[in-house]
Every structure is written in C-alpha cells, then in structure tokens.
Amino acid sequence: MTPDADSTAALLLGATAAMALTPIALMAWRGPINAWLFWLLHGVALSGALAAIAQQVTMGWSERLSLALWLSLVVVLLLYPLVAMRWRGATALAPLLYPYLLLLAIGATLLEPGHLPAAGGQALQVSTWLAAHVVFALIAYGLVTLSALSGLAVVLQELALKRRRPGRLSSMLPALADGERLQMSLLAWAEVGLALAIASGMAHQILTDGVLLRLDHKTLLVLLGFLVIALLLILARQAGLRGRRAARIVLTAYLLLTLAYPGVKFVSDLLAG
C-alpha cells in the first residue's frame, strides 16, 4: 500500500471501531442492561479497537498520539470485565465509561490521517524492560481511568443527595458507598502498577543510557501522580478522607497521568509538528 492508502485504511478502521462502540454506549445510557447482550457488545467494541491498533502496528510502530489513545482505550476495555467481576457496582459505571471511550475513539480516529509511520520504516527495538514498562504503565493508567470515573460517579451521587433530587443518571450509577470503595480499591492497584512501571523504566534507562532516571516532563508528571495517589491512600486510611474531596484528588491524579502520557504526545505530535 501507498502511505495515502494506508492512511485511508487506518481512518476507515478507526471510524469502524468508533461505530462499534456506539451500540454499547447507547445501551449503557438507555438501560435496562441485558447482561448477555451487554458483554457481547463489549466484545464487538474491543474487536473494533484491536483492529484499529493492528492496522497501525503492521505499518511499523509509531509513538503517536492516535496509537496512544487506542492503546489506552483497549486496556480499559480489557480491564473492565475483570473489575466488574471483582467489585460490586462496577458494571454501573457503564453510563460514564462507554460514552467516554466513544469520544476517545473519535479523537484517535481524527488524529490518524497524516500521523502514521511510513511503510517499510525501521521497526522500533523494544527491550524486555521497555516492554514491561509500557505494559505496567498502560495497566496503571487504565486502572486510574476507571478509578477517576468512579470518583466522578461519587461526585454526581453526592450532588444528587444534596439536592434531594436523584436524576436518571444518578439512579444508574453505583451507590455512593460502592463508588467510594471502588475508586479506592482501583487506585491502590493502580499505585502498584505505577510502582512497577517506574521501576522497569529505571531498569531500561540504566541498561540503555547508564542513567537511573531521566527527569523530563513525562517522568516528573508520573512521579507527581504517584505521590498524589500515595497521599490520598494514606489520608483515606489514616484520616478517613472520602466523598467529593477524595474524588477530586483522584481526578487530579488522573489529570497528571493524562498529561504525562497522552498529553506529552499531544504536544510532540500536534504542536511540535
């Protein structure tokens, strides 16, 4: 294929993947949810996103924003069934989760034309430590994303209770206690994933450059996010921090990690040329 044909194919696959997310996003909003159909549509959405990633990877690995968004989306789709099986109330995040993922897919699709690697380019050499770093970082980011959505659900539930007017959306979301428990549990596991990502990243840096830690924007944002999450977990355990205050800190940690991974790629991809 020519580069133009590859870009067109990637655009079509991206649009198809976004369309594959639309039925489950609509189902999550409209309700009631049929479990069998719900997870079938989830599988359809996951297959579409995997196809979009495969199209880009077969042309050569690209450290571009569009691929970063697709990878983040796929990791969340892979983690969500496991989270739903483990924690009560997780399935009730669907009205927030799937519309968010649909917007992510649309953004990734719009960013694809003109941002693909040239066919036949050199493949990126990936060491074992670098591969481990990427996997742990993606898992941690996926867990923080789900934790942030749980935090948003907590904020919406508290607002509904304060107004004494539970709306349609708040009635579909997890109960307040379930949402709080879910966000803290996911955040604790995300902190483990971040610790492993940082450690494997250090190992990769030592083997390649002889440097323990390269303090660039991405690293500083990740370390700051790690510290914010650690502080929240300590405050929740020692001081009983909960509710909207805890949720705001969760959303802050999510913002920091978003700036560290997709945000840095956004600057290099779009603003720097």
Q: 23-43 pLDDT, tens per residue?
A: 999 999 887 778 899 999 999
The torsion angles phi and psi of 246, rounded to 5 degrees, stand at -65, -40
Tokens of 62: 């690209």
- Residue 64's pLDDT is 73
Amino acid symbol at 144: V
- Using alpha carbons only, give the angle 204, 52, 256 rounded to the nearest 5 degrees: 50
- Residue 217's pLDDT is 83
pLDDT digits (tens, 9 = 90+) for 168-210: 888 899 999 999 999 999 999 999 999 999 999 999 889 888 7
What is the Cα gyration radius of the chain?
A: 19
Amino acid symbol at 222: V
Q: What is the mean pLDDT of the chain?
A: 86
pTM comes to 0.90
Kindly state the DSSP code that residue 166 receives in the 8-state scheme.
-
Q: Which residue has the higher pLDDT, 270 or 266?
A: 266
pLDDT band at 212 (very low <50, low <70, confident <90, very high): confident
Cα–Cα distances (Å) from 189 to 131, 136, 146, 186, in that order, read 20, 11, 11, 5
